Chain A
Amino acid sequence: MTDYKSSELLRFTTAGSVDDGKSTLIGRLLYDSKSIYQDQYDQIKKTSERMGEAEINLALLTDGLKSEREQGITIDVAYRYFSTPKRKFIIADTPGHTQYTRNMVTGASTANVALILIDARQGVVEQTRRHAIIASLLQIPHLVCCINKMDLVDFSEEKYNAIQEEFESFAAKLDVKDVHFIPISALLGDNVVNRSKNTPWYEGPTLIYYLENVHIASDHNFIDVRFPVQYVVRPYSDEFHDYRGYAGRVAGGVLKKGDKVMLLPTGFTTTISQIDGPDGQQEEAFPPQSVTVQLADDLDLSRGDMIVRENNKPDVSQDFDLMVCWFSSDAPLKENGKYTIMHTSQEARCVVKKLRYKLDINTLHRDEESKDIKMNDIARIQVRTTKPLFTDPYRTNRITGSVILIEEGTNNTVAAGMII
């Protein structure tokens, strides 16, 4: 059991092409770490038998929807949980089908680690590249390439090395810092929780060992103070008659009681007079804490505004460049198209001023001619917003650097955007 006073939370996601074994791997991880309950096990055993499968199908642990079971594929993200004495894990098992890329992005957007599965028989395919690009755009700090189905290639070291080389040469062109490789069989369990006897040539860690030990404490930005105001707390009671608190979740830096701060957009300066956390007053607040901040002066400040430091401001601008992942199957991304844009606790409208290029998934070539951005395409665009947003490059802050675009006619979320 986790010692809950000291255990960290690690979020990881699966990625990779259809049938490369993502769901099976998650099932295996849960099964071998003894995180499956008896009734869940009995249930999927029964279903496997009914579907005429020889062995118990561990993918059924995450593929829980009727249509997923009928087709034997993953359609939407499934979240699963397990813990070891060191960490609690949140798993997002995502679909490999191109059609459901938006659900893969959903699962990956909050992850610390991405497990990219590659079928050892197929090697790196287009969808592997697409997901690797998305993982790099999303700045997932740690990537693990799980070369899977090693049992089907006789646990061949040559095959493994060739795929590792193939992936590395592609990843060299991407912005990824930390890539690991592990030869596994999700079906049989090799190197997942238990070290495999079939890969004596492999000296690295098992997957679970890696997940338990990868360093994640520095995945937040603790330097640049960013506090988007989410909600204003006004009790209107006799006891707290004059109370006015600014509730929000720290997006960057460390806020301290007594700190001199600046408010955006007004530019007024004041000091933090009190920080209220879930357990009462606290001296300081840092990501990802949710707190309520009180200020020394009564100034105009509401949802969508931001508390920062005078000598360390975000970009305050109406024009910026975005890398977008386009989700809409109905309508392509258009130059001059107008959308609602959400950013931290701000909402505005925006217009696509320029479509700079579309990224070719296979070659990473920047296609500046194509004006046709369809579902699952990745593109760089320039937008102009109706009012200034307070942004940082996504590279320096995943919270103040991200936006979504919403189509006004349908209310659908049509793009994930990362500020450059």
Chain B
Amino acid sequence: MNYSINHLKELESESIFVMREVAAQFENPVLMFSGGKDSILMVHLAYKAFYPARIPFTLLHIDTGHNFDETIQYRDDLVKRMNAKLIVGSVQDAIDNGLVREEKGFNASRNGLQTAVLLDELEKGKFDAALGGARRDEEKARAKERFFSHRDEFGQWDPKNQRPELWNLFNSKHFMGEHFRVFPISNWTELDVWQYLAMEEVPLPSLYFAHERKVFERDGTLLADSEHISKKPTEEVFTEMVRCRTIGDVTCTGVWRSDAQDVKAIIEEIATTRMTERGGRTDDKRSETSMEDRKKKGYF
């Protein structure tokens, strides 16, 4: 008998283990759901981890109000299918209430505003753990994250002073008002995610597959034409076959020229591509350390 499992099954097992630790060690955990493939993977793994019981985490979506329509549709279907509870934190409401101020100008984005709304929701819901689908291969600051990442009472991350994390012994101890961010799929790469979603035949939002869309180009990145982005007079709209590699806010999620119509084609595309998936994220391009800076303040 050969007692070995392939790397996807090992990653699956590790993630399930981490999710069960969260359910066991925290009183009130929440799963941050963005609508992207990593969140979808998280929900799929949580379903497996606790089957046949319901997922013991509330889902939390921080809604910028600048979504692709497909994202909301998919989210609502998923919530129904999983019989899960969903909380929506609205950036629009936060702007209306004066909690945050809308950015102005051509590169205006609500990406940064999400942090304040997220922290506000975590505090309101008295959540002591927030599960996130961030992966270490995405970005250099994320490459430094622990599975269990401690946040102080202001929601801040201190990358120079992280707790040691030995073996699979996760220390979740914290004081009142502090919380943890937990990243069960830390060790997955983009390719792993797609190979696994293909293997599991998980249904995915149509945005990930090549489709015709009105787009325009800005700083070398294609952006979807949308009422939420103001274009410069020189920016011309044209139609292209594109797909999303990540799904975030419309204003900062670049789309890619692609002919990949199914998961198999996506896997081939990713295996040969020369750009990282976040290469099209204008929110990461603001400065060299923009992810680290945002994470320190409490971003996803």
Contacts and interface: CB of A to CB of B under 8 A. Distances in A.
A258 B175 CA distance: 45
Interface residues of B, number: 64
Nearest to A38: B274
B140 A79 contact: no
A51 to B, nearest CB: 11
B191 to A, nearest CB: 8
Given A39-B275, A80-B143, A239-B52, A327 B6 contact: no
Given A240-B52, A286-B3, A411-B173, A67 B160 contact: yes
A195 B14 CA distance: 35
A299 interface: no
B240 interface: no
B164 A40 contact: no
B289 interface: yes
A290 to B, nearest CB: 4
B13 A4 contact: no
Nearest to A100: B160
Nearest to A403: B169
Interface stretch (B43-51, B74-82, B224-232): B43-51
B137 interface: yes
B49 A290 contact: yes
A148 interface: no
A278 B6 contact: no
B101 interface: no
Interface centre among B24, B137, B192, B195 (most CB of A within 10 A): B24
Given A398-B167, A402-B166, A66 B289 contact: yes
A412 B162 CA distance: 10
A51 B236 CA distance: 37
Nearest to A78: B143
Contacts of B7: 2, 4, 7-9, 87-88
Interface string B3-45: 1111111111110110011011000000000000000000000
Contacts of A399: 167-168
B54 A254 contact: no
B50 A79 contact: no
A98 B245 CA distance: 40
A187 B121 CA distance: 48
A76 B6 contact: no
Interface in B158-202: 159-160, 162-169, 171, 173-175, 186-187, 189, 191-192, 195, 199
B2 to A, nearest CB: 8
Interface stretch (A101-109, A197-205, A308-316, A384-392): A101-109
A219 B11 CA distance: 17
A413 B164 contact: yes
Interface stretch (A117-125, A157-165, A166-174, A229-237): A229-237
- Secondary structure dominating the interface of B: loop
B205 interface: no
Contact of B164 (A37, A106, A289, A403): A106
B165 A106 contact: yes
Contact of B53 (A64, A105, A233): A233
Given A80-B137, A110-B167, A289 B5 contact: yes
B144 interface: yes
A278 B13 contact: yes
Nearest to A62: B143
A217 B274 contact: no
A404 B23 contact: no
A6 B6 contact: yes
A220 B5 CA distance: 12
Given A81-B189, A103-B164, A402-B167, A4 B8 contact: yes
Nearest to A217: B4
Given A37-B276, A64-B292, A278 B48 contact: yes
Nearest to B288: A47
Nearest to B277: A37
Interface string A1-18: 110111111000000000
A65 interface: yes
Contact of A38 (B13, B275, B288): B275
A75 interface: yes
Contacts of B8: 4
Contact of A75 (B14, B17, B160): B160
Contacts of B164: 102-103, 105-106, 327, 404, 413, 416
A43 interface: yes
Nearest to B140: A64
A143 interface: no
A90 interface: yes
B66 interface: no
Nearest to A249: B17
Given A78-B143, A243-B52, A413-B163, A288 B279 contact: no
Interface in B127-153: 136-137, 139-141, 143-144, 146
A303 interface: yes
A98 B193 CA distance: 36
A411 B178 CA distance: 12
Closest 3 CB pairs of A and B: A64-B140, A411-B173, A9-B7
26 contacts: A2-B7, A8-B6, A37-B275, A38-B275, A39-B279, A40-B276, A67-B160, A77-B144, A80-B136, A87-B7, A102-B164, A106-B164, A109-B166, A233-B52, A235-B52, A240-B52, A249-B13, A287-B3, A288-B10, A290-B13, A290-B49, A345-B24, A399-B167, A404-B169, A411-B175, A413-B163
Given A79-B137, A399-B167, 4 more contacts: A64-B143, A81-B136, A289-B9, A402-B167
